[in-house]
Amino acid sequence: MKLTVNGEAHEVAAATLADLLAALDYEGDWLATAVNSDLVHKAKRAEFQLSDGDRIEILSPMQGG
């Protein structure tokens, strides 16, 4: 399946958002995820089915001043 993750094209076999995060080595409770500009809550990632062409944004908090 072809997906765009944080603006970069990826070819992945992941069926769900949780599978995609694991395949791309993203982990942690502090991630924010959106698919096609719609926020996907952590509790919904395991059941959220991805489709070819989806645009995924994975955000993590930054520290600094």
Taking the model in full, what pTM does it have?
A: 0.88
How big is the CA angle at 9 (ends 29 and 58), to the nearest 5 degrees?
15
The topology under which CATH files domain 2-59 is: Ubiquitin-like (UB roll) (3.10.20)
Give the pLDDT of the chain (65 residues) as one tens digit per residue: 999 999 999 999 999 999 999 999 988 778 999 999 999 999 999 999 999 999 999 997 766 65
Q: Which residues contact 62 (CB under 8 A, 6 or more apart)?
A: none
Residue ranges of domains in the chain: 2-59
